[in-house]
Amino acid sequence: MGIACLACSGPRTVNLVLVAPAKLTLSLRITDVRDDGLHVLDAEMVSLDLVDRLTIGAGSGLEIYGTEGGLEVAADDGNLVSRALTLVGRDASVVIEKEIPAGAGLGGGSADAAAILRWAGFRDLIAASRIGADVAYCVVGGHARVSGIGEVVEPLPFEERVFTLLIPPVGCPTGAVYQRWDELGGPTGEVGNDLEPALLDLAPEVARWRDSLGDATGIRPRLAGSGGTWFVEGEYPGDGRRVVRTVPPSMSPV
């Protein structure tokens, strides 16, 4: 597979396929809310072998396929990929083949934006975090502790781990979940994710998938990010469950 020189013109330009790994938030504590309304986090995250693929070509435009099972993803200037291209001052034709459902708490949009930033050689994590709280982590990938408003990413030793996900067909907008957390007075989650009470208050139907995964595994599931994916550690295939594995940061960059 050749590498595109999208700053060049002419028939020699070829397409390039980027891989955008999902992120799994193993723990998430909200330690403060800034005066501008942004939330200060202390989180642990890992990259997964569940990925979106972005095909980059000459020209301009954004196309998105495979978004079933999550929130609708608009291919417009507000899309995180479009915002990432604007940030790096690039123009490209981008086709996204999504495997990471939108609104599932797995950082699909952030992963896609981070793939663009890595392709462009852009490593300013503070600027990346202004696109979305998880974008800076997704630029780095692997196993990391994430703090601040998402711009502080401290790599941790990579561990080969296996998780089982159960992803409800219910998309949960990140902003709405954080807003509900504020409205509830900033509750603390029981099993490591402070957003769980807010997500369950906003979309109580997702508890059914939590209970289903717990019954199948005998383990209390944890919430992935802002939801609504539930996960347990270990391999428990079957009945809509998806087994995933961690990937090191060396597999995340282009």
Helix (H/G/I), strand (E/B), else coil: 232: strand
Neighbours of 209 (CB within 10 A): 20
Q: Which residues are catalytic?
A: 23, 134
**Cα–Cα dist 122/125, whole Å:** 9
Rounded Cα distance between 84 and 80, Å, is 6
Classify 189 as helix, strand or coil. Answer: coil
Q: What DSSP assignment string belongs to 60-87?
A: -EEEEE--TTS-----STTSHHHHHHHH
Q: What is the largest CA-CA distance in the chain?
A: 58
Q: Where are the alpha helices (DSSP H) in 120-244?
A: 125-131, 135-140, 174-183, 196-202, 207-217
